[in-house]
Chain A
Amino acid sequence: MAHAAEHEYTTTGLNHRKLLMWVFLGSDCLFFGALIATYMVYRGQSLVGPYPIDIIDVPLTTVSTFVLLMSSFAMVQALSATNADNKKAIVSWLLATAALGVVFIGFQIFEFNSFKNEGLTLGGNLFGASFFTLTGFHGAHVTLGIIWLVAMAILAAKGRVGSKTALDVELLGLYWHFVDIVWIVIFTLLYLIGGFDVGPAPISGG
């Protein structure tokens, strides 16, 4: 089944590119961990509004969370199709994943815009600064993933993606699922738990 020529001999017995991707994802945990910790430190410390309770729309974001989860499902189907050398299915599932990602970004643009109209800005208060930095960097990750997905779909349409290059799609999938799990954390902390935060408690001892 496996041909010796397809295997590189490495000290770990693992493909270098796959190892690299997991190292990258591990380090990206730190990146988002720092931003999430910053959000938690600043949580409830804003002196002026708008506060989360004023603007966070949990039902809307539940829908966009669902969209991102479904994009992960489409992604695993793209990998299955790649292993099965089904060119049409590869292109379709990759584009479906990208499309769901675009819908998610659309929700985020809509959300950012309505927040801005309600007075929440990057420089307005601590909530705005930490919220936009965290969700903005996540949105940037999603956007990068969409570009990667579309590029892969174009390659697949040209017949250059199949079981022999399945690792290319697998690495893309790892990145995409990682972006998904980061959102799982953000959704829980910023929306489900933090979405109902009100303004600051009066300063005691003053």
Chain B
Amino acid sequence: MAHETEDTTHHPSFNQYVLIAIILFAITIVEFLLIWDRAGIVDHLGPSKIPLLVLLSAIKFAIVIMFYMHLKFDNRLLGSIFVAGLALAFLVGIAVISTFVGFEGEQRFYAAQNAVPYVEHEAEEESTTSSETATETTETTETETPPVAAGPVTFEISAKGEELAFDTASITADSGAEVTITFTNPASFNQHNLVIVAAGDKDAVASDGIPAGADNDYVQPGDSRVIANTKLLAAGKNGEVTFTAPAAGAYQFVCTFPGHNFTMFGDFTVK
């Protein structure tokens, strides 16, 4: 039987190794310059940069496995084994990515629509009742009788413990009345705010508030749809907002912290 001898004779020489190192270094510099366009060097490359970067890194990848790892000079079986693993990895990666692309880029919207608040199961005796209601119904239904007000009026609304929900389902006021809402955030981690909007506007307002960031309390500055809002409250804090009740109609109060708006809202009726 013929057998392979340990392949040490075909290895590149010192100078060739130096040359390979210089090539690898040069490609890395080119890659860096390609993306470092803050100085305006290669802005015109635009979207073609990504395939170019992938190509350059693939070249580096190939150089290292062919020369530094001797695959170019070694037995083909070794290369086949490695390439098989690499190809499998690619296929797995493509499969995973396309699973999510199956939502046509709307997986975050899909996830947000189907989000349920995270509930800590604290006590055994409570878990049977509270966990069922918490996971199935996201809208709170505790206070069925809305407080009715005439003239200056104050409501006390709190976040419902650790849940992404308010403890109050609905409030009612007369149009033109001075309304003060004191908002308490008893959570140990989550941040919340309370924003008054017309019914139906809550998700759009919250969505537009995301880029505004925490510095703007997740409310787009100058957003005309926002009737009033509290500051973004850190865990354990409370805040207050006073405003004049708008024209009679259906309104809502909502937390616009990213993601909270889907479960954390209540009705505000103006008569």
Interfacial residues, chain A to chain B (CB-CB below 8 A): 2, 7, 9-10, 12-15, 18-19, 22-23, 25-30, 32-34, 36-38, 40-41, 45, 47-49, 58-59, 62, 65-66, 69-70, 72-73, 75-77, 79-80, 83, 166-167, 170, 173-174, 177-178, 180-181, 184-185, 187-188, 192-193, 195-196, 199-200, 202-206
Contacts and interface: CB of A to CB of B under 8 A. Distances in A.
Contacts of B206: 206
Nearest to A75: B68
Given A72-B64, A206-B109, A187 B85 contact: no
Interface string B50-73: 100110110011001100111000
B76 to A, nearest CB: 10
A149 to B, nearest CB: 15
Contacts of A29: 82, 85-86, 88-89
B32 A30 contact: no
A175 B200 CA distance: 58
Contacts of A185: 57, 61
B93 interface: yes
Given A73-B17, A188-B31, A200-B258, 6 more contacts: A22-B81, A23-B81, A37-B96, A62-B28, A185-B57, A199-B210
Question: How many residues of B sit at the interface, in one of the four size bands?
Answer: 35 or more
Given A14-B4, A40-B97, A204-B109, A47 B259 contact: yes
B2 interface: yes
Interface stretch (B6-14, B146-154, B246-254): B6-14
A37 B101 CA distance: 12
Contacts of B93: 33-34, 36-37, 40
B3 A45 contact: no
Given A33-B93, A41-B97, A45-B107, A69 B4 contact: no
Contacts of B94: 37
Contact of B207 (A65, A77, A202): A202
Nearest to A12: B77
8 contacts: A19-B77, A33-B93, A34-B89, A34-B96, A45-B107, A58-B32, A58-B36, A177-B64
Contacts of A167: 6
A14 B21 CA distance: 29
Query: Do most interface residues of chain A lie in helix, strand or loop, or is the interface mixed?
Result: helix
A142 to B, nearest CB: 15
A14 B31 CA distance: 38
Contacts of A40: 93, 97
Contacts of A48: 258
Interface of B: 1-6, 8, 11, 14, 17-18, 20-21, 24-25, 28, 31-32, 34-36, 50, 53-54, 56-57, 60-61, 64-65, 68-70, 75, 77-78, 81-86, 88-90, 92-94, 96-97, 100, 106-109, 112-113, 203-204, 206-208, 210-211, 213, 258-259
CB-CB nearest 3 A-B residue pairs: A26-B85, A33-B89, A37-B93
Given A41-B97, A76-B17, A13 B82 contact: no
A30 B89 contact: yes
Contacts of B208: 202
B14 A33 contact: no
Given A177-B69, A206-B207, A30 B88 contact: yes
Contacts of B78: 14, 18-19, 22
B69 A173 contact: yes
A25 B36 contact: no
B82 A22 contact: yes
B258 A65 contact: no
Contacts of B204: 206
Contacts of B20: 73
Given A66-B25, A72-B68, A177-B64, A32 B89 contact: yes
B50 to A, nearest CB: 6
A2 B6 CA distance: 9
A10 B3 CA distance: 8
Contacts of B92: 30, 33-34, 37
B148 to A, nearest CB: 32
Contacts of B75: 12-14
A204 B112 CA distance: 11
A187 B57 contact: yes
